Amino acid sequence: MSDDRFEAIYRKHYARVWRYFRGNSISDDEAHDLAQDTFKRLYERMNQIRNDDPWPFLATIAKTILLNRVRARQTQKRNARMVEIDDPDLIFAEPAAAEEPDYADREAEELRRSRLRAAMESLPPGQRECQRLQLEGLQYDEIATTLGISIDAVKSRLRDAKQYLREQLGEKS
C-alpha cells in the first residue's frame, strides 16, 4: 500500500479512533498517544488488509489496544506490592479518619448490608449480572454487549431484579 493511501486512511479515521479512546475516560493526550499507536500498528500490518475498507481492521486494533491497557491496569492492581503491617512505607498522608459511628450504628449498618447482599445473591444469575453492571454505570446497550443479549432482555431483567430487591428489602416502588 502506498504512503498516500495510508495518509488518506489516517486523515479519514484519526478523529474516530481518538474519540473512541476518549469515550473510555482517557485524557486527551493519552487518547492521542493510543490513536498514534493504533495507526502505527496498522501501518506495520497494511499487507493484512483484505479489502478496500480498512476500518474493521483498524477498529480491531484500537479495541485490542484499549483492552490491553485496561487489563494491564487491572493486573497491576491485583499484583500490587504487599506490605507488612510494620512496614515504614505503610504510612498514608491522609487526614484523620472521621469519627467512628457508635456501636448501634455499626450494627445497623452491618445488618442492612448483609440483607442487601443476601437479596442480591438470591437474584437469578442473569438478573444479578445486569444489576451489577448497571451499578457500575454501564448503559443498556453496553450491558447487552457485555452479556451477549438483547437490549430488551437487559431492560426486562433489570425491571424484574429491581422489583425483587424492593420486595426483599421492604422498600416501596
The distance of closest approach from Cβ of residue 133 to another protein in the complex, given in angstroms and rounded to an integer, is: 6
Q: How many CA atoms lie within 13 A of 70 on its CB side?
A: 9
Give the nearest distance from C-beta 56 to another protein in angstroms: 10
Q: Find the shortest distance in angstroms from Cβ 129 to another protein.
A: 5
Report, in Å, the least distance between residue 88 CB and another protein.
Answer: 27
| Cell triple for 94 | 491522609
Q: 3-class DSSP state for residue 87?
A: coil
> What distance, in Å, lies between the first and last C-alpha atoms of the chain?
61
CA atoms within 13 A on the CB side of 161: 23
> Which residues contribute to the site for another protein (CB under 8 A)?
7, 10-11, 14-16, 18-20, 23-24, 32, 35-36, 39-40, 43, 59-60, 62-64, 66-71, 73-75, 78, 109, 112-113, 116-117, 120, 129, 132-133, 135-138, 141-143, 145-148, 169, 171
Question: In this structure, are residues 66 and 20 in contact, taking their beta carbons and an 8 Å threshold?
Answer: yes
- By beta-carbon proximity to another protein, the closer residue of 78 and 81 is 78
Nearer residue to another protein within complex by CB, 83 or 116: 116
Nearer to another protein, 94 or 136 (CB): 136
d(CA 139, CA 161): 16
Please enumerate in sequence order all residues whose Cβ is within 8 A of that of 71, keeping only pairs 6 or more positions apart, or say none.
none
Residue with smaller CB distance to another protein, 42 or 93: 42
Shortest distance (Å) from residue 87 CB to another protein: 22
Backbone conformation region of residue 91, classed left if phi is above 0, alpha if psi is from -120 to 50, else beta: beta
